[in-house]
Amino acid sequence: MKNLLSIEQLTGDEIKDLLALGHKLKAERGHHERLPLKGQTWALIFSKSSTRTRVSFEVGISELGGRPMFLSVHDIQLGRGEPIKDTARVLGRMIHGAAIRTYGQQEVEEFAGFSGIPTINALTDEEHPCQILADLLTIEEIYGPGSWKDMKIAFVGDGDNNMSRSWMWAAKRLGFTLAIGAPTNYLPLEDFRKHLDCENVIFTTDPVEAVKGASVINTDVWLSMGQEAEGLSKEKHFYPYQVNRELLEHAAPNHSAFHCLPAYRGKEITEDVLEHFAPVIFREAENRVHAQKAVLATLADANRA
């Protein structure tokens, strides 16, 4: 594994190895046996604002012995129209790796191709692989190692956003049952479903059917970053898919509600449900550090070989 560009591009074994390493690095936090990023500088190139992603990467890089360098696109020439391939070829000669949080998936892939350095997708409109790894890590902490393989996981809300697509690829690679519950116009198009080609991913417009028997119920904001102009015209379709106590009555016993944050209480999730599952939801956020440290260490080792 030379880069982390998407869950789609990972194998099941690579995901399992990252989870195992994430658990190990979390357990030894503060007294790591080695520092795989020692002497290295990693750039965080962000076109989108962030709390969890920026902080977790800065902390993770530092704890592994590296130096994080935050670069907002407004502060570098990308913001003035320099092609991503030119920025990549410059930075590839100066730094040791990069995590990129932007809109287009192609930007991350082009940077990786032209820079020649390990590149991490820290979020695009297409996928959010780091969050999925943190979520799987959290599931294993709550339910046991590999527990996802025997459970049904649900995602309700926008069934065609970066989180739902990353969950679909995780289901494809790991073999667990995933139900996507979303309005008709917010389910993946047929071309994507054919490309996914995964019988254990179920699509439904019935939120109850999606959640029925699920051990983990995921949701996300209804308006992703950059979609704010759609406002109420989009949100009105999603209220039947709100994660609330009534909907969760159909879930499996001992279920958990997940949210990648930030959350809009009273929209995709109610205040009482979020607070009830706050220990889980904020553990997800914490585990971004440990999942990403596993990615960073793996890429540093692979690119050093």
Is 52 marked within a binding site? Answer: yes
Torsion 53-58-63-66 (CA) sign: positive
Q: Count of H helices and E strands in the chain? A: 12, 9
Cβ contact 166:192 at 8 Å: no
Q: How far apart are CA 288 and CA 120, in angstroms?
A: 13
Is 101 marked within a binding site? Answer: yes
Catalytic: 195? Answer: no
Catalytic residue among 260, 283, 290, 292: 260
Catalytic residue among 54, 101, 255, 259: 101
Catalytic residue among 220, 242, 283, 292: 220
Catalytic: 40? Answer: no
Cβ contact 169:127 at 8 Å: yes
CA 189 to chain centre: 21
Is 129 marked within a binding site? Answer: yes
Catalytic: 89? Answer: no
Give the list of residues 6+ apart from residue 77 with CB closer than 8 angstroms, or none. 87
CA angle 217, 218, 220 (to 5 degrees): 150
Is 96 marked within a binding site? Answer: no
Catalytic residue among 131, 255, 259, 292: 131
Is 260 marked within a binding site? Answer: yes
Catalytic: 173? Answer: no
Is 198 marked within a binding site? Answer: no
CA angle 226, 49, 259 (to 5 degrees): 80
Is 3 marked within a binding site? Answer: no
Is 32 marked within a binding site? Answer: no
Catalytic residue among 23, 165, 283, 288: 288
Catalytic: 198? Answer: no
Is 53 marked within a binding site? Answer: yes
Is 131 marked within a binding site? Answer: yes
Catalytic residue among 23, 54, 128, 255: 128
DSSP H helical segments within 96-155, as ranges?
105-115, 129-143
Catalytic: 160? Answer: no
- The binding site for L-ornithine consists of 162, 220, 224-225
- The binding site for carbamoyl phosphate consists of 50-53, 77, 101, 128-131, 260-261, 288
- The binding site consists of 50-53, 77, 101, 128-131, 162, 220, 224-225, 260-261, 288
The catalytic residues are: 101, 128, 131, 220, 260, 288
